[in-house]
Chain A
Amino acid sequence: MKDTLLEIKDLNVIYKTYEGTVAAVNGVDFALDRGKTLGLVGESGAGKTTTALSIMGLVPSPPGIIQRGRVTFAGQDLLTLPEKDMKKIRGNRISMIFQDPMTSLNPVLSVGLQISEALVAHQNLSEAEAERKAAEMLEKVQIPGARYREYPHEFSGGMRQRVVIAMALACNPRLIIADEPTTALDVTIQAQVLELMRSLKEEFATAMIMITHDLGVVGEVCDDVAVMYAGRIVEMGSLDQIFGNAMHPYTLGLFRCIPDIEEESSTIHPIEGLMPEPLDLPKGCPFHPRCPQCMEVCRQVVPEACEDNGHRVLCHLFGGGERRA
């Protein structure tokens, strides 16, 4: 790793609820280089958003507790950083795009104000300068700057998400975390927004974590891929490694889930069963109840990561760097 921007080591996050303790993130490890895009994929409840919020220092507390781990961003340990300094990073050097554009903008404030806020907070701009810059950002996401004073309800879903993107890019951050930025949009708009994000990412030379459960999106925009299951990264590697040589049974299952348009029959092969309740994870490998290649050891022992040329997998089928099955 020559030019590491973000490094997460052994991150553990739990939520303490009335029903019990939810182990949302269980020892996540990954690193991201400057300017690169990492795809974080996984089913609903895998802990993707929680991982992202941990980086932002925004895990809701209560009920969330970051138990263990290190998040190093440009040499700084974010988890031990005082809130005051964290505020200088949030929205400035790391910014986040949230899932639902319909609810992530404040309905009673103009979009222009919502974009300029970060500029005023981080770049010491006067209100007027911030306003000009915010209008410029609007233009960047293909919305006329003249609509600066309009309110979120005056925009369509796709435009709102573009406003959110403008907001996230306003201070030219080093890292953008996009949490399912296109899930709530319809397919044609999804493509537009993705294309926009990709071109802006290039223009601003920003690193990005793209959270999604859509492998198609990953294939289009990511350099690296991390597959998350029940709070763990079960497989990680470059785009080619994952798309060309997926190893973990869960990853293979995910690929089988993509409907193949070329194929005549439209059978999808979903992974059997549901992700375990994070309230009580099964003993051993958390995927074993659904795994088609489950072995005896899988029921008893949590697998250790094994890595080969940057391709990491967390499965008993693979040990010592070579395939056993």
Chain B
Amino acid sequence: MLRYFTKRLIFLIPVLLGVSIVIFAIVHLAPGDPAEVMLGPSATQEDIGKLREQLGLTKPLYVQYWIFLTNALKGDLGRSIKSNAPVLEEILERFPATLTLASLGMLFAITVGLPLGVLAALKQNTWVDALCSFFALVGFSIPNFWVGLMLMLLLSITIPILPSSGFDSWKNLIMPTIVLGIQTMAVIARMTRSSMLEVIRQDYVRTARAKGISDRLVLTRHILTNVMIPVVTIAGIYFGHSLGGVVITETIFSIPGLGRLIVDAIRAQDYPVVQGGVLFFALCVGIVNLLVDLLYAVLDPRIKAQYRSAK
């Protein structure tokens, strides 16, 4: 099993390599010259040329990429053009906020979405089901930036109970958590409902009932454990998806996280930060996927057996 995961970890390398090539190409083929940006409009052509030399921008692209790659492998993502601080340092400084936000969003999505789906399935075709499904549909359909703005309008301006920006207290986290988690919540609720309806009519649930054990045990031990398997899949996929939402959420609520860092860097044409930030995101998504696979093995002994036999 350990071997399976070591192998999976090694497979992450080509993925990251691919991402690094793509992001490097986009950043370097985009119009705009970082040297010009750094020196401002008053700089002479000569100064700009010198700086380009210094930054290594005059070398052929593949040489530049090679330098970037070998340095990145050593943990050196270069220095920010804007602040001159090491990029990795900037990323690590911003990462806790993003991690907190993403985790809270996921937590929100699961703790609300799962019970909602279970409830809808248990009350199939009643008004409870209709209400839950409606709620899920709405949560899925409205764009999250709009949710963010509406929440802000309601809870920061009309009834000012929550701060609209910053990252100092738990109060700052409430709205961003909802904005980030609402779509995943909706997806989880719908997945849970359909998975429940599928599992409930399985023979093994009838077998469990025939044993005369309590309804609660049938639900938690026999039904939910099986329901969780597809739900975890979808949650894993949407976790990567919601990292995209992090960028929007951090921007709306002025949270100093990784998403904001990258957005600001793009505006400032601070290409080392953009490259490094995106690569870091890709690494996070890869690791989350790996954790999801690990969770599968915990939930489903058949998958565990597969992992075991896969050398």
A contact set with B: CB distance below 8 Å: 56, 58, 86-92, 95-96, 98, 100, 103-110, 114, 117-118, 120-122, 151, 153-154, 164, 167
Contact = CB atoms under 8 A, between A and B. Distances in A.
Contacts of B212: 86-92, 118, 121-122
Given A114-B207, A121-B217, 14 more contacts: A58-B206, A91-B212, A92-B212, A95-B211, A98-B206, A108-B229, A108-B300, A117-B211, A118-B212, A121-B212, A121-B214, A151-B301, A164-B207, A167-B207
B207 A90 contact: no
A16 to B, nearest CB: 13
Chain B interface helix/strand/loop/mixed? helix
Nearest to B199: A106
Name the 3 nearest CB pairs between A and B, nearest first.
A90-B212, A91-B211, A91-B212
A103 B225 contact: no
A111 B97 CA distance: 45
28 contacts: A58-B206, A86-B212, A88-B212, A90-B212, A91-B211, A96-B210, A103-B202, A104-B203, A104-B204, A105-B204, A106-B205, A106-B207, A106-B222, A106-B226, A107-B300, A107-B302, A108-B225, A108-B226, A108-B229, A108-B301, A109-B225, A117-B208, A118-B211, A118-B213, A120-B213, A121-B211, A121-B212, A153-B301
Nearest to A53: B206
Contact of B226 (A96, A98, A107, A153): A107
A238 to B, nearest CB: 29
B204 A106 contact: yes
B209 interface: yes
B303 to A, nearest CB: 10
Contacts of A153: 301-302, 305
B168 to A, nearest CB: 44
Interface string B43-59: 00000000000000000
Contacts of A122: 212
Contacts of A114: 207
B142 to A, nearest CB: 34
Given A103-B203, A107-B204, A108-B226, A58 B301 contact: no
B99 interface: no
B311 interface: no
A87 B208 CA distance: 11
B8 interface: no
A85 to B, nearest CB: 10
Contacts of B204: 103-107
Nearest to B305: A153
B207 A95 contact: no
B299 interface: yes
Interface of B: 202-214, 217, 221-222, 225-226, 229, 299-302, 305
Choose among A100, A103, A104, A105 the residue with the greatest number of B CB atoms under 10 Å from its CB: A104
A167 B211 contact: yes
A117 B305 contact: no
A88 B211 CA distance: 9
Contacts of A95: 210-211
A117 B208 CA distance: 9
Contacts of A151: 301-302, 305
Nearest to A92: B212
Given A107-B226, A153-B301, A91 B210 contact: yes
B210 to A, nearest CB: 5
Nearest to A86: B212
A109 B210 contact: no
Contact of A100 (B203, B211, B225, B302): B203
A77 to B, nearest CB: 18
A56 B211 CA distance: 10
Contacts of A87: 212-214
A88 B213 CA distance: 9
A108 B212 CA distance: 19
A105 B221 contact: no
A90 B214 CA distance: 11
Contacts of B299: 108
A100 B204 CA distance: 10
B211 A104 contact: no
A56 B212 CA distance: 10
Contacts of A91: 210-213
A114 B211 CA distance: 9
A243 B175 CA distance: 76
Nearest to B202: A103
Contacts of A103: 202-204
Contacts of A106: 204-205, 207-208, 222, 225-226
A220 B305 CA distance: 40
Contacts of A164: 207
Nearest to A107: B302
Contacts of B217: 117, 121
Nearest to B304: A151
A58 B210 contact: yes
A93 B179 CA distance: 53
Contacts of B209: 58, 90
Contacts of A58: 206, 209-210
Contacts of B225: 106, 108-109
A50 to B, nearest CB: 13
A217 B212 CA distance: 29
Which one of B206, B207, B211, B299 has the highest number of Cβ atoms from chain A below 10 Å of its Cβ? B211
A92 B213 CA distance: 10
A109 B214 CA distance: 17
A86 B214 CA distance: 11
Contacts of B302: 107, 151, 153
Nearest to A101: B203
Contacts of B206: 58, 98, 104
Contacts of B210: 56, 58, 90-91, 95-96, 98
